[in-house]
Chains A and B, each alone.
Chain A
Amino acid sequence: MEKPFVTIENVSKIFQTRNRSSIAALKDINMQFGKGGFVSIVGPSGCGKSTIIRMIDDIIKPTAGAITVDGFTYDNNVPISKERVQKMGFIFQAPNLYPWFTVKQNVMLPLKIYGKHSQEYDEVADRLLDSVNMLGYADAYPAEISGGMSQRIGVIRGMVHEPEILMMDEPYGALDESTREQLNMELLKIWKDTGMTIIFITHNVEEAVLLSERVYVMESHPGRIVAEINIEFDQPRTLGLLTEEKFGRYCMEIENLIGKIDLSKVK
């Protein structure tokens, strides 16, 4: 196996809450992401999926353990530099657009912060807007577009600086099924064209199986990985897979892994 691009080693995260108790959000997490791969993380709400990628993006620090990206290791004490962060794109669970900027200004915000002002990047922004059918709304304000539209803008804002690693936190949660499928296919195309490493969070098992080469299945209390499943389908993937028997088997397998533990909790 080739050397992984992103490695998470024995990472734990304990949150201190306001009433001075502590939550063990993640315990002894080990993960590897190969360069150019597409890996999903699925698991029940609150199992720590968002926490994992927020630590990779250095928004929050792990309590223990270390993360290595492209040969550079960072942890509780060592931060990651702005240069290295530029290689990452982070797509929030909520669109998180700034209401004081237009749609296009929101999309261009990472470029502004990284000091990339050229005409070329302006075209990148327009192309991305077009790819999610939002070019016509470039000068609208976030208050003037729908929730699903905002979500699409949040997604392309995370890719506009052409990162090598893209972390997506349930990016299409608020979209209807068909728009979601359409955008997922668009995502696969972008993935193929750019060779990005994608870490995709979802609680939609079918979505995970359809898109990814590998799926991490998580459980909560404390957040941990319970299985790692390779999804062996040929590339490029198409929506035709949804009807294949093998597809159904993968979904069943993962749902059982999540469901088993849920059942025991009911008792």
Chain B
Amino acid sequence: MEKNYALKNAPLVKILGSGIPPIVLIVALLAFWQISCVVRDIPTWMLARPTAVGGALASGFGALLPDILSTYANIIIGFALAVAIGLAVAILISSFSLLSSALTPLIIALCCIPMVTLVPMMMLVLGTGPNVKIIAIIIQAFPLVNLNSVVAFLNVSPERLELMQSLKANRVQSFLYCVFPDGIHGVFTGIRLASIMAMVTGVSSEIIGGNAGLGSRIIYFINFSKTADAFSCIIYIAVLGIIIYGVISIIESRVKW
């Protein structure tokens, strides 16, 4: 009995359990899409049918694998670095108010400039390899982790902080035992938003330049009216998004307060 209860509360089971209604919905939408294409006789070069996309997923996987790996690697590396940098800078900013007043406007500005507009210029200097894309992801995603974490750290509960003051805890102790755990949910909010930014920036910089990655494949397939293959690329991108979201959810579910 007890075991069963524990299983029900495990995050993965929860996610799978809550996955049934959306799966039903997705299947219904796919069916509607398929039927509309058949009934209205829409040509494949305009809109691929789900069955054709399924076929492309199966037959094109081998050929797409290098692009999948390249896109996944760029986004995962860029996102991980964005989280690390965003948190590190947040710790600095929330501890030294001078740094905060110097850096915060700059970070907000970075957050507001769509990186895709800068990527073509960056490519002129750095070429079209993975570096530009990773840098673009970091610049776009880290401010979200940073700003959300800073707000969370500065809004630490005054009573909880007073205990640290009463014990004369040093900066490191007070951060580790009080400020960080108190602000952890704000940090996760930033990480979630940053993951979305990382996906968008990663794929759109592939669309802009270079010939590696799923973004550049999508453009290629559309130019040759291979809509089913283009859709298969989009599905691979969505899969990465779901994986990242799932991992963040599983980690956050371990925070019980």
Contacts and interface: CB of A to CB of B under 8 A. Distances in A.
Contacts of B159: 92, 94, 96
B167 A113 contact: yes
A222 interface: no
A100 B181 CA distance: 7
Contacts of B256: 99, 141, 143
- For A81, A82, A90, A100, the residue with the greatest tally of chain B CB atoms inside 10 Å of its CB is A100
Contact of A110 (B165, B167, B181): B167
B160 interface: yes
B60 to A, nearest CB: 47
Interface string A91-123: 010101011110000000110111000000000
A253 B166 CA distance: 35
B173 interface: yes
A82 B160 CA distance: 19
Interface SS of chain B: helix
A140 B178 CA distance: 19
Nearest to A88: B166
A219 interface: no
Contacts of A257: none
A98 B167 contact: no
Interface in B127-168: 159-160, 162-168
Given A92-B159, A98-B160, A100-B257, A59 B178 contact: no
Contact of B165 (A59, A81, A100, A114): A59
Given A100-B181, A141-B256, A59 B162 contact: yes
- For B160, B164, B167, the residue with the greatest tally of chain A CB atoms inside 10 Å of its CB is B167
Interface residues on chain A, size class: 20 to 34
B177 interface: yes
Interface in B173-209: 173, 177-178, 181
A150 to B, nearest CB: 13
Contact of A59 (B166, B173, B181): B166
Interface residues of B, number: 16
Contact of B166 (A90, A101, A112): A90
A25 B169 CA distance: 27
B46 to A, nearest CB: 55
Nearest to A90: B166
Contacts of B168: 58, 81-82, 85, 113
Interface string B217-245: 00000000000000000000000000000
Contacts of A59: 162, 165-166
Given A98-B178, A99-B257, A143-B257, A109 B167 contact: yes
A58 B167 CA distance: 10
A101 B168 CA distance: 19
A98 B166 contact: no
B175 to A, nearest CB: 12
Interface string A20-47: 0000000000000000000000000000
A99 B159 CA distance: 13
A98 B169 CA distance: 15
A141 B255 CA distance: 12
A113 B181 contact: no
Contacts of B160: 96, 98
A59 B168 CA distance: 9
A57 interface: yes
Nearest to B165: A59
A72 to B, nearest CB: 14
Contacts of B173: 112-113
Nearest to A115: B173
A176 B160 CA distance: 26
A57 B166 contact: yes
Closest A-B pairs by Cβ, 9 of them = A99-B257, A100-B181, A82-B168, A85-B168, A90-B166, A113-B167, A113-B169, A59-B165, A59-B166
20 contacts: A58-B168, A59-B162, A59-B166, A85-B168, A92-B162, A92-B163, A92-B166, A96-B162, A98-B160, A98-B177, A98-B181, A99-B257, A100-B257, A109-B167, A109-B177, A110-B167, A113-B167, A114-B167, A141-B257, A143-B256
Interface of A: 57-59, 81-82, 85, 90, 92, 94, 96, 98-101, 109-110, 112-114, 141, 143
